[in-house]
Structure formats: C-alpha cells, structure tokens
Structure 1
Amino acid sequence: MIFFYFLYKHVSIRDNAESSILYKCENFEEAECNRLFNILIKKQFFLVLWRLPNNFFKQFFDYYGALLSYALQFIPIIMIGTYDDKSPADLAQIVSNNAFIYIYLVNSFTRLTDLAIDVGEMAGVFQRIADFVHYSDEQAQRGTEVEGLANQSFEEGYGRPPIFVDRTVSPIRLSEGLLFEMKNVSYTLPNDDNYLLMNNLNIRLLKGQNLLVTGPSGAGKSSFLRILMRLWNLKTGMLTYGITSDRILHCPQKAYFPVGKLSLRQQIAFPVHIPNGGNDFRDSGFFERILKDLKLFHLVERCGGFDANVEFDWHETLTPGELQRLAFVRLLYHRPILAILDEATNSVSSDMEKVMYELLLANDISFISAGHRETLKAYHSLELKIDGKTGYSIKELSTNEKL
C-alpha cells in the first residue's frame, strides 16, 4: 500500500503543479516525498526479509529437487552400506524407487512454499477489505453526528477586538506604503506571444487599500493574478513590489491540501513543515475561535484533534465550501501582508463570505480578490474591471457601492 501512497503523492503534485508553485511549497513537497520514500524503502526491506526464506526453499526445491533425490541416497548406499547384499539389478530398482519417492516429497514441499506465499498475499487483501469495512462502518456512524455539528450555531460574534497570532515574525518595511505597482504592463499567454491579454496596464495599490478584479468569464482575471504572483512573465512594462514575496499568500479557487495523511495542524500550517510531534500553534485558543467562527470546529473532532494523522484525503472528503473556509484559516495562521484571492469564496454563502472578509480586515491583511459577486464590493476600495479585449478600467468604490 505504501508504494501506491508514494505514487499517489507524485500524481497529486503533478495535478496541482500550479497551486504548489503559488504556495511556494517546493521544500514542503520535497520533505513529504522523501518521508514517503524512506517509509517505502523500509517496508520493502522488511518485505524482502520476510519473503527470503520462502523464495529460497521454493527455488532450491524447483532447481535442485531431482539432484537432491539422488544425493539423499548417497548416505545409505555408499556410507552406511545398507544395500551391500543386493545385486546390481535390485540396487538399481531400489535407487529408482527411492528417487521417485524423494521427488514426490520435494514436489510436496514446493507446493507448501508456494502456498505460504499465496497465503501471505491473501492476508494483505483480507487486511485491506477489513480496513474498508471498518472505515465504512465508522463513516455510517459518524455521518449524522458530523452533520449536526456542522449545522449548529456558534454564539461568538465579531464585536471583539482584532485577534493576532502570537508568532515571531520579522517586520517588513513597506516602501512608502506600497504593496505593488504596475507601469505600462502588457502580457500574453505563455505559449502564444501573439495572443495579447492586457495592454499598457497602470495600477498602484497601497497598504490599507483592497483591490477587486472583475470582468466577464474568460476576460483574464486569473491571468492577472498569475502575473501578480510572477507565475507568468511580462511582455512589456514593469511590476514593482513594496514587500517581499514571502509576505504574499495566494488562495486559489480550488484550495490545495496536500495528500499524505497530514494532520489538521499541518494542513493549516502548510507550506510550513511541522516535524512529527511539533507544536507550531503558540495560541491554540485562537484557532479554536477561528474554526468556530467559520463553522469548522467539527473538523477537530473529526480528525481526532489537531495533531492526529487522518486517514482520508482532504480534497475528496471535505466539501468545496469547507475547503475554502479552511484555506482562510491557513491565511490567518500565516498573516501575510497581502493575500491574493482567486474566487476564494464562491463556494460559500454571502453570510459566510462576510465573516471571512471581516476576519481578514480585523487582522490587518490587505487583499486582492477576483470574483463575480456584487457583495464583494463591500470589502474593497478599488475595482479593476477587465473587459477581455486587452482593455481595463479602474475606479474607487464609493460608500454606496459597498452597502
């Protein structure tokens, strides 16, 4: 099974290559791949040791059975002289009869060794079936409980003062409060330099401002965010940041949660790698409150706590809305100066969207959002509207538009 986990990990990285790049998680993924590889090597080593006796006797009897049937008769005929009184004709008959019996016995031993190997493989199949049945029973019993927990109301409101993560971070000096600035920026598709997506874009975003990127479907909103994250190259112009890249965090529409039986704590801390037994939450109470605010506290019980290694794949078990809310918990854990949100709330309700953006504002996190909902204007001060024809317009959002 560990071999398939190892393969699945690499398939997952390939399928989520863009998200991995945007999260800058190459060190994390390398550590996880090495961890799974070391487990695989260890399992294979013990498997070889377990199979060695069976394979030895199987091969020995297969290739040396006939020779052994005659070698065994060397002792009574030559060394002990049991048949010295027999004539050559009788001795030949005795040797022939004994050889037949010995070969039959060797064949029986060969069947036993083959049976032992088959029984071992069958035991592995039975173990997987038993695990599947046990997991199915657990899910059937847990389904009603989880649904009840997910729908329960939480009493904590948002009148409290801003909550900050108690983590030691190096202060970043903003260049005149600048987050980023684009001057005469034009860009194309990476694989087609003639397909112009944007022409001569000029925009400047300062600390305290939040930008909303709008436009029809296919206009190039996600392309603009890829340019911001420097995933794509500019054709012309200049992109300047007033902050370092490690203080920018991207939150895609389909949040990325790496596979590998990772704990809830590790998924929140991603792409930071927490060693086994490590506790990187200086204030677990903060995360408990955030999980309650986002109606995700049932995940703590479902996962068996913050540090238990789960037996499910996060992106296959959780709903899209739960994944997007958990991605926001990750944002609040890292507390970047700038968060880039690519339709990161389109799978949650408007009420939950309000909760999520208020948490970002309360924690002094600037953000750039791409989306279609009119309700998003309430949390942004600037709107960049992309028309899909290499053009754009920028306007400040008035108080009336935010209401």
Structure 2
Amino acid sequence: MNQYKHVSIRDNAESSILYKCENFEKTECKRLFNILIKKQFFLVLWRLPNNFFKQFFDYYGGLLSYALQFIPIIVIGTYDDKSPEDLAKIISNNAFYYIYLVNSFTRLTDLAIDVGEMAGVFQRIADFVQYSDEQALKGTEVEGLANQSFEEGGGGYDRAPIIVDRSISSGRLSEGLLFEMNNVSYTLPNDENYLLMHNLNIRLMKGQNLLVTGPSGAGKSSFLRVLMRLWNLKTGMLTYGITSDRILHCPQKSYFPVGRLSLRQQIAFPVHIPKSDNVFRDSGFIEKMLKDLKLFHLIERCGGLDSSVEFDWHESLTPGELQRLSFVRLLYHRPLLAILDEATNSVSSDMEKIMYQLLLTNDISFISAGHRQTLTAFHNLELKITGKTGYTIKEISVATAVADEKL
C-alpha cells in the first residue's frame, strides 16, 4: 500500500498540486509508512523462530549429528562393551540417521515458510469467493446500481516575482474583486521562448462567472494553471481579491487519494477530518449533496460515511461518478471561487445543469473551461482563447445562452 501510495501521488502530481494537498499527502504517507513498519516488525517476530531453526539446522546439522552421540557414548557409556571397530561403525550409522533426521527438520521449516506465504494468497482467494457470493445474492440490485452509474456517467503556493514587471498580490475582497490580469503574458514552463498568451487583460468580479473556450490545444488548461499560480508569469500583473485558501480547483482528471480513506474524508479532502463528534454535524449536508447528485448509493457501498474503504476510487467508480463526487467536495468546502477544468464532460446535460445550479444556489463563483455549448447558460462572461497568443472577451447575454442551450 505504501509503494502504491507513492505511485498514486506520482501519477496524479498535477491534480495534487492544484488541490494544494501537500500537507495532506505528507501526513497520509507517514501514516501508511508507520502501518508498514509495524506490520514488518510483527512479520519479523513471527518468522524469527522458524528462521532460527532453519539456519541452525542448515549450518550446524552435520556437527549436531555427532554432538548428539556424546551423551550415550561418553556420559551414559552405552557402548562401553563395544570394540573400537564396532564403535566406529555405530557412530557412522548413527550420524547418517541423525543427518537424515536433521535434513527432514530443515525441509519442515522450509515448508512452514512456504505455508505462511501461501496463507496470504488463500486469504485473498477466500475474500474473492466471499465477495462473489455476496454479489450473486444481490442479483439484479447490483446490476441496476451499475446501470444507473453508467447512465449518469456517460497548503498553497504564493510565488514571488522573479522579474521586476511581474507580481502577484492579494487583499481586495472588500471591492468584490476575484482576480484581475493586467498585460499578462506567459510561456511554457520548460520553454520561455514559446509564448502562449500576450498582454491578456481581464477582470472578474464577485457574481460573475467566466467561461473559457477555444479549440483543443489552444491553451485553456494553461490559462487555468497560470490562474492557480502553478505556472509563472512572463510579464504583467495578476491581482487577487481573495486569498488562495478560498479558491478550489476541480481538475479535468478527478483525484481521490488512496489509503483506505472513508467517504467523508474523501469529500473533505484536502483537509484532514479530526476524530471528534463535531464532524458528524455535516452528515446531513453531505447526504443531501450526495442525494442531489444521485450518489446516495455510495453511502451503502462504502459502508457509511466513516468506514474505511478498501477499493480504489478511480477504478471502481465511473468517470461521471468521480466528477459528481468532486462537485460534492466542492460544495462541502464552499470556496468563494471554483475553477473547473472540463469538470462536467463525463456527465449528461441534465446532470450538468443540476451541478451548476448547486454552485449558483450556494453562491460560489466559478471559472469553467470546456467545449459544450450548454455551458454558456451558466456564465455571463466568455474568454475565447484562439491560440497563437490571441484571445477575445465578450459578455454572454441571456438570449445567447438560451440559443446555445437549445443547440
């Protein structure tokens, strides 16, 4: 599990950074590493007697075959009446039998090690058989649940400026400002000569919702990375009216960390839930959000909100379920600004409408990047990135939004 945890972090590095979950992942890695150390310690204690006798018989078996004859020959004097020739023959024969017996004990200890290793395999097989029997008993209920799922599923970084004409500042919440870009230009992180945007000027106020459009590869995700301060500016000024902890990013690739985390902890991610009774006050809100987004069945599947979950979320849930669960996480934290990178491209149009309506109901401003025409119905400002450093900005009227929604 500990090795898999590190692989999971590596494969989801960008999503982890955008969630600003470095402290969460550090704590989880330490927790899983401590579990690994404890299990390895008890494994060593369990193997110690067996390994001791195995090594003892392997290295001292020949010597032991003669040492065992010391008592009957020297101490008891069982063979005092034998001639030296007969005694030598008896010692040789006894040594052969003792060595054979020691070899049998060695095979027995080897077998004990193999049986111990097979026990883990048998445990997995038994769990698989038990799970298969349980699913067979559920029958059509499980099939219906799967069909429903697929039907719907069709710590921050405030970087300091490096050059004089670039800065990042904050502190204008009282004016209703969310963010403002003045003559912003940025490049690829690994190629400063490859200019992605030149002299971008845009302002977003509280109550406005921005839609970022453009053809594939034009730089929509790059704009969001700059906005999240994952990429640096080349020139210009980026001003925030809110602190970074009031901004939550919902990446294109949903991220749910491994480590047998409960459903409640996955929703609260990247914040660690304290082990206190106060956390249960949110149960009603979480259950309502899960019900609104047609994910209420996850409570039963996970054994409740607070039970440790054994399965891998990314492999067990459909892309649509993962995106809806990411929205539950978003609604749980209720940021002032949500940044959505094609966060609804795996759900139906009807479900997409429900998801955005929940954001509006909870007074969460949002910036969305996507291709769907239906997205215009939820936004009032559009930034179209045309590629080759070009862009256009226009307001989205109600008539335009209705026309696009009909399309």
TM-score (norm 1): 0.91
Counterpart of 1:55 in structure 2: which amino acid? N
Report the equivalent of 1:134. 130
Which sits farther off after the overlay, 135-144 or 70-79? Answer: 135-144
- Summarize the alignment of residues 64-75 of structure 1 with structure 2, pairs less than 5 Å apart: 64-75=60-71
Q: Aligned-pair distance for 1:134?
A: 2.3
Q: Is the 8 A contact 2:172 2:240 kept in 1?
A: no
> What CA distance in whole angstroms lies between the structure 1 residues aligned with 2:32 and 2:200?
45
Name the SS of the counterpart of 1:282 in structure 2: helix
- Give 2:16's aligned residue: 20
Query: Structure 1 residues 38 and 276, CA, compared in 2 at 3 Å: closer, same or farther?
Result: farther
Equivalent residue, structure 1, for 2:86: 90
Which residue identity does 1:27 align to in structure 2?
A: N
Q: What's 2:187 paired with?
A: 188
The alpha-carbon deviation at position 196 of structure 1 amounts to 0.9
Aligned to 1:62: 58
Aligned residue in 2 for 1:387: 386
> Which deviates more from structure 2 when the two are superposed, residues 222-231 or residues 34-43?
34-43
State the partner residue of 1:252: 251
* Alignment-mate amino acid for residue 84 of structure 1: D
CA distance in 1, matches of 2:68, 2:276: 59
CA–CA distance in 2 between the matches of 1:370 and 1:67? 77
Equivalent-residue separation in structure 2 for 1:136 and 1:150 (angstroms): 16
Counterpart CA distance in 1 for 2:134 and 2:4 is 24
What amino acid is aligned across from residue 61 of structure 2 in structure 1? G
Q: Which residue of 1 aligns with 2:320?
A: 321
Which residue pairs with 2:220 in the alignment? 221
The amino acid across from 1:182 in the alignment is: M
1:121 aligns with 2:109: no
How far, CA to CA, are the matches of 1:317 and 1:190 in structure 2? Answer: 34
Amino acid at match of 2:50: N
CA contact (8 A) 1:222 1:342 kept: yes
- Distance in 2 of aligned mates of 1:151 and 1:98: 73
Q: Any idea what the Cα deviations from partners look like across 1:24-80, whole Å, max 9, x if unmatched?
A: 111111111111111111111111111111111111111111111111111121122
Secondary structure at the residue paired with 1:274? coil
- Aligned letter for 1:304? G
Q: Give the counterpart of 1:38 among 30, 34, 39.
A: 34
% identity of equivalent residues? 86
Give the deviation of 1:137 after TM superposition.
Answer: 3.5
Structure-2 change in CA distance of 1:317 and 1:193 (3 Å): same
Alignment counterpart, residue 46 of structure 2, candidates 37, 47, 50: 50
Q: Is the Cα contact below 8 Å between 1:150 and 1:298 reproduced in 2?
A: no
Q: Is the 8 A contact 1:178 1:206 kept in 2?
A: yes
Equivalent pair of 1:146/1:298 in contact (CA under 8 Å): no
Q: Does 1:108 align with 2:104?
A: yes
What letter is aligned with 1:333? Y
Report the equivalent of 2:211: 212
Which string of whole-angstrom CA distances, capped at 9 and with x for unpartnered residues, describes residues 332-352 of structure 1? 100000000001011111111
> Which amino acid is 1:14 matched to?
R
Task: Give the equivalent residue in structure 2 for 1:269.
Answer: 268
Q: TM-score, normalised by structure 2?
A: 0.90
State the shift of 1:146 in Å. 4.4
- Residues 293, 120 of structure 1: alpha-carbon distance in 2 compared, 3 angstrom cutoff: same
Q: CA deviation at 1:175?
A: 4.1
C-alpha contact 1:185 1:238 (8 A) present in aligned 2? yes
Give me the whole-angstrom Cα distance separating, in 2, the residues matched to 1:278 and 1:314.
26
Partner of 1:285: 284
Deviation at 1:280, TM superposition (A): 2.3
**Deviation by residue 1:156-201 (Cα, 9 ceiling, x = unmatched):** xxxxxxxxxxxxxxxx971411100101001111111111110000
2:3 aligns with one of 7, 18, 25: 7
> CA distance change for structure 1 residues 231 and 254 in 2, over 3 Å: closer, same or farther?
same
Q: 1:86 Cα deviation (Å)?
A: 1.7
User: Does structure 1 conserve the Cα–Cα contact (< 8 Å) formed by 2:135 and 2:142?
Assistant: no
- Structure 1 runs not aligned, ≥5 long: 153-171
2-side partners of 1:179 and 1:85: how far apart? 106
Return the offset for 1:116: 1.1
- Look up the equivalent residue of 2:309 and give its one-letter code: V
Aligned in 2, Cα 1:199/1:137: closer, same or farther, shift over 3 Å?
farther
- Secondary structure of the equivalent of 2:7? helix
Distance 1:279 1:213 in 2: 39
**For residues 140 and 389 of structure 1, what CA distance do their matches in structure 2 show?**
56
1:80-138 Cα distance to aligned partner (Å, 9 max, x none): 22222222111111111111111111111111111111111112111111122223333
Give the distance between the partners of 1:143 and 1:314, measured in 2 at CA.
Answer: 23
Q: How far apart are residue 139 of structure 1 and its match?
A: 4.0
State the Cα RMSD in Å. 1.7
User: Taking structure 1 as reference, are residues 293 and 57 closer, same or farther at Cα in structure 2, changes over 3 Å only?
Assistant: same
Counterpart position of 2:355 = 356
Q: Deviations over 1:302-358 (max 9, x none)?
A: 111111111211111111111111100000100000000001011111111111111
Match of 1:335 in 2: 334
Amino acid at match of 1:204: R
Specify the alignment match of 2:164 in structure 1.
Answer: none
Q: Secondary structure at the match of 1:333?
A: helix
Number of aligned pairs? 380
- CA distance in 1: counterparts of 2:67 and 2:331, whole angstroms: 77
Whether the aligned pair in 2 keeps the contact of 1:197 and 1:389 (CA below 8 Å) is: yes
